[in-house]
Amino acid sequence: MAHHARTPIRLARLVLLALTLVLAPATLTAPTPAAAQAAQEEVATILAGFTRGQFPATLAAIDALAASGHPHAAEILTALSDRRLVVEAAGRRVLWKDAGGAYYDALTGAPVAAPGATTDVRVSNAVRRAVQTAMASLTLRAPSPATRIEAAAAILRARDLSQRDALAAARAEETDPNVQRAFDDTLAGLAIADTGAAEADRLAAIARLAERGDASARALLLGLPADAPEALREAASAAIAAIDRRLAMQAHVQNIFFGLSLGSVLLLAAIGLAITFGVMGVINMAHGEMVMIGAYATFVVQELMRTFAPGLLDLSLLVALPLAFLSAGLVGVALERLVIRHLYGRPLETLLATWGVSLILQQAVRSLFGPTNREVMNPSFMSGSLELFGIALTWSRVWIIVFALAVFLALLVAMKATSFGLRMRAVVQNRRMAASMGIRTPWIDALTFGLGSGIAGVAGVALSQIDNVSPNLGQSYIIDSFLVVVFGGVGSLWGAFVAALSLGVANKLVEPLAGAVLAKIVILVAVILFIQKRPRGLFALEGRAVES
Amino acid sequence: MTRKPILFRLMAPHIAPAVLALVAAAALVPIANLVFPADHPLHVPTGTVVLLGKWLTYALLAVALDLVWGYCGILSLGHGAFFALGGYAMGMHLMREIGPRGVYGHPVLPDFMVFLSFEELPIAWWGFDVFAWAAFMALFVPGLLAFVFGWLAFRSRVTGVYLSIITQAGTYALMLAFFRNELGFGGNNGLTDFKDVLGFSLQADGTRAALFALSALALAGGLLLAQAIVTSKLGLVLVAIRDAEARTRFLGYRVERFKLFVFTLSAMMAGLAGALYVPQVGIINPSEFSPANSIEAVVWVAVGGRGTLSGAALGAVLVNWAKSFLTGAYPEAWLFVLGFLFVAVTLFLPKGILGALRSVRLGRRARAAQATSAQPAEVRG
Q: A87 - beta bridge partners?
A: A94, A119
Residue A222 domain-assigned?
no
pLDDT average, residue stretch B344-350:
88
pLDDT recorded at residue B379: 39
Please tell me which residue, A1 or A274, carries the higher pLDDT value.
Answer: A274
Report pLDDT digits (tens) over A434-466.
899 999 989 999 999 999 999 999 999 988 888
Rounded to whole angstroms, the Cα distance separating B83 from B93 reads 16
- Closest partner CB to A357 (pick from B161, B302, B343): B343
Whether residue A231 lies inside any domain: the answer is no
Q: What is the mean pLDDT of residues B53-58?
A: 96
Together in a domain, A173 and A91: yes
| More confident position, A172 or B318 | B318
What pLDDT score does A490 carry?
75
pLDDT confidence band for A131 (50 / 70 / 90): confident
Exposed / middle / buried, residue A87 (Cβ in 10 Å: 0-12, 13-18, 19+): buried
Residue A356 and residue B165: Cβ atoms within 8 Å? no
User: In percent, how much of chain B has pLDDT > 90?
Assistant: 54
* pLDDT at residue B206 is higher than 50: yes
Instruction: Report the C-alpha dihedral over residues A456, B79, B226, B3, rounded to 10 degrees.
Output: -50
Across A358-362, average pLDDT: 92
Residue at A459: amino acid letter: A
Rounded percentage of chain A residues whose pLDDT exceeds 70? 91
- Asked whether the beta carbons of residue B340 and residue A360 sit closer than 8 angstroms, the reply is yes
Q: What is the pLDDT of residue A24?
A: 47
Closest C-alpha to B333, from A537, A359, A414, A329: A359
Q: Give the count of Cβ contacts less than 8 A between chain A and B.
A: 133
Query: Could you tell me if residue A98 is inside a domain?
Result: yes
Q: Per-residue pLDDT tens for A485-512?
A: 888 887 788 989 999 999 999 988 888 8
Q: CA-to-CA distance for B198 and B311, rounded, in angstroms? A: 34
B317 close to A (CB below 8 A) = no
Give the pLDDT mean for B322-350.
87
- Span A193-227, pLDDT tens digits: 777 777 777 788 888 777 777 777 777 777 777 77
Return the H-helix or E-strand segment holding A95.
strand A94-97
Q: Is residue A483 part of a domain?
A: yes
Could you count the other beta carbons within 10 Å of the beta carbon of residue B20?
Answer: 12
Residue B326 lies in a domain: no
Domain count across chain B: 1
pLDDT of res. B365:
59
- Rounded Cα distance between B163 and B242, Å, is 14
Residue B250 near chain A (CB below 8 Å): no
Binary contact (A535, B162; C-beta < 8 A): yes
B215 belongs to a structural domain: yes
Q: Which residue has the higher pLDDT, A373 or B58?
A: B58
Q: If we measure between CA atoms, which residue out of A234, A243, A230, A266 comes closest to residue A467?
A: A266
CB proximity A487 to B under 8 Å: no
Helix (H), strand (E), coil (C) string for A356-377: HHHHHHHHHHHHHHCCCCECCC
Write out pLDDT tens, residues A222-249. 777 777 777 778 888 888 888 888 888 8
What is the C-alpha to C-alpha distance for residues A301 and A240, in angstroms, rounded to an integer?
52
Chain B, nearest residue to A490 by Cα: B162
Domain residues for the domain of A104 are 4-206
- φ, ψ of residue A119 to 5 degrees: the values are -125, 145
Q: Are A350 and A496 in a shared domain?
A: yes
CA distance B68 to B142: 15
Q: Are B75 and A360 an interchain contact pair (Cβ–Cβ within 8 Å)?
A: no
Within a domain: residue A186? Answer: yes
pLDDT of residue B377: 46
Contact A107, A40 (CB under 8 A): yes
**Mean pLDDT within B88-112:** 89
pLDDT for position B87: 96
User: Which A-chain residues 84-113 have CB contacts (< 8 A) with chain B?
Assistant: none
In this structure, are residues B367 and B359 in contact, taking their beta carbons and an 8 Å threshold? Answer: yes
| 8 Å CB contact of B180 and A281 | no
In a domain, B313, yes or no: no
**What pLDDT, in 10s, does the model give residues B288-299?**
999 989 989 998
Pick from B298, B313, B315: nearest CA to B352: B315
B374 Cβ under 8 Å from any chain A Cβ: no
Band of residue B92 on the pLDDT scale cut at 50, 70, 90: very high
A179 & A295 share domain = no
User: Is pLDDT above 80 for B108?
Assistant: yes
- Nearest residue on chain B to A280, judged by CA atoms? B380
Q: Sign of the C-alpha dihedral, residues B274, B277, B279, B281?
A: negative
Question: Does position A5 have pLDDT exceeding 70, yes or no?
Answer: no
Answer yes or no: is pLDDT of B169 > 50. yes
pLDDT the model gives residue B334: 85
What are the phi and psi torsion angles at B138 (to 5°)?
Answer: -60, -30
Q: Does any domain span residue A221?
A: no
The CA distance from B42 to B33, in Å, is 8
A28 pLDDT above the threshold of 50: no
Give CA–CA dist A208/A225, Å, rounded. 18
The closest of A449, A340, A280 to B342, measured between CA atoms, is: A340
Distance from CA of A286 to the nearest CA of B (A): 11
Mean pLDDT of B306-327: 92
Q: Considering only residues 90 to 119 of chain B, which have any Cβ-Cβ distance to chain A shorter than 8 Å?
A: none
Give the rounded distance of the alpha carbon of B26 from its chain centre: 18
| Separation CA A302–CA A298 (nearest Å) | 6
B345 in contact with A at a CB cutoff of 8 Å?
A: yes
Mean pLDDT, residues A251-272 = 89
Of B300, B257, B74, B248, the residue nearest B166 (C-alpha): B74
b/e map of B118-151 (b: 16 or more CB within 10 Å)?
A: beebeeebeebbebebbbebbbbbbbbbbbebbb
Q: How many distinct structural domains can be found in chain A?
A: 2
Q: What is the mean pLDDT of chain B?
A: 89
pLDDT in the model for residue A3 = 47
Q: What is the rounded distance in angstroms from the CA atom of residue B374 to the CA atom of residue B357?
A: 16
**CB neighbourhood size of B86 (10 A):** 34
Distance from CA of B165 to the nearest CA of A (A): 7
**pLDDT for residue B166:** 87
Q: Which residues of B touch A545 (CB under 8 A)?
A: 381
Give residue B154's pLDDT.
Answer: 92
Q: Does A363 touch chain B (CB under 8 A)?
A: yes
Whether pLDDT at A542 is above 70: no
**C-alpha R_g of chain A:** 35
User: Which residues of chain A make contact with B75, given a CB cutoff of 8 A?
Assistant: 348, 351
Q: Which residue has the higher pLDDT, A256 or A34?
A: A256
CB A258, CB A507: distance < 8 Å: no
Q: Please give the model's pTM, rounded to 2 decimal places.
A: 0.74
A378 SS3 class: coil
B376 assigned to some structural domain: no
Is residue A302 within 8 Å of residue A320, measured between CB atoms? yes
Is residue B319 included in any domain, yes or no? no
What is the pLDDT at residue A520?
A: 86
Over residues A355-376, the mean pLDDT reads: 90
Query: Does residue A388 sit in helix, strand or coil?
Result: strand
Residue B360 CB: number of other CB atoms within 10 A? 10
Burial of A22 (0-12, 13-18, 19+ CB in 10 A): exposed
The answer to whether the CB atoms of B291 and A479 lie below 8 A apart is: yes
% of chain A residues with pLDDT over 90: 20
Chain A residues whose beta carbon lies within 8 Å of the beta carbon of residue B145 = none
Domain's final residue, options A190, A206, A222: A206
Residue B36 counted as domain residue: yes
Of the ranges A313-322, B211-220, B363-372, which one carries the lowest mean pLDDT score?
Answer: B363-372
Question: Which residues are A197's β-sheet partners?
Answer: none
- Chain A residues with beta carbon closer than 8 angstroms to that of B176: 517, 520-521, 524
Quickly count: other Cβ atoms within 10 Å of residue A338's Cβ: 13
Q: Does residue A190 sit in the same domain as residue A276?
A: no
Q: Which residue of A has its CA nearest to B291?
A: A479
pLDDT band with cut points at 50, 70 and 90 for residue A386: confident
In chain B, the residue whose alpha carbon lies closest to the alpha carbon of A366 is: B332
User: Is A335 a residue whose pLDDT tops 90?
Assistant: yes
Picking from A363, A521, A545, the nearest residue to B176 by CB comes out as A521
The model's pLDDT over A38-88, given as tens digits with 9 standing for 90+, comes to: 777 888 888 888 887 788 888 888 878 877 767 777 778 878 878 888 888
B183 lies within 8 A of chain A by CB? no
3-state helix, strand, coil in chain B (%, to 5): 75, 0, 25
**Structural domain contains residue B334:** no
C-beta separation of A354 from A285 below 8 A: yes
Phi and psi at residue A88, to the nearest 5°: -70, 130
Contact B215, B280 (CB under 8 A): yes
Examine residue A152 and state whether it is found in any structural domain, yes or no.
Answer: yes
Asked whether the beta carbons of A293 and A267 are under 8 A apart, the reply is no
What is the pLDDT, as a whole number, of residue A16?
A: 53
Q: How confident is the model at residue A121 (pLDDT cuts 50, 70, 90)?
A: confident
A 227-286: CB under 8 A from B = 281, 283
Contacts of A346 in chain B (CB under 8 A): 375, 378
Q: Does B379 touch chain A (CB under 8 A)?
A: yes
Q: Is the CB of residue A520 less than 8 Å away from at least one CB of chain B?
A: yes
Could you read off the pLDDT of B127-163 as tens digits, one per residue?
Answer: 999 999 999 999 999 999 999 999 999 988 888 878 8
Domain membership flag for residue B127: yes
Q: A258 lies in a domain?
A: yes
CATH of the domain at A462: 1.10.3470
Q: B156 CA to chain A: closest CA distance, Å?
A: 6
What would the pLDDT profile of B230-248 be if each residue is shown by its tens digit?
999 999 999 999 999 999 9
ipTM of the complex: 0.80
Rounded Cα–Cα distance for residues A170 and A178 (Å): 14
- A22 has a pLDDT exceeding 50: no
Mean pLDDT of chain A: 81
Do residue A202 and residue A254 come from a single domain?
Answer: no
Residue of A nearest to B69 (CA): A348
pLDDT over 50 at A267, yes or no: yes
Task: Answer whether residue A9 shows pLDDT above 60.
Answer: no
What confidence score (pLDDT) does residue A2 get?
Answer: 42
Domain around B10:
6-290
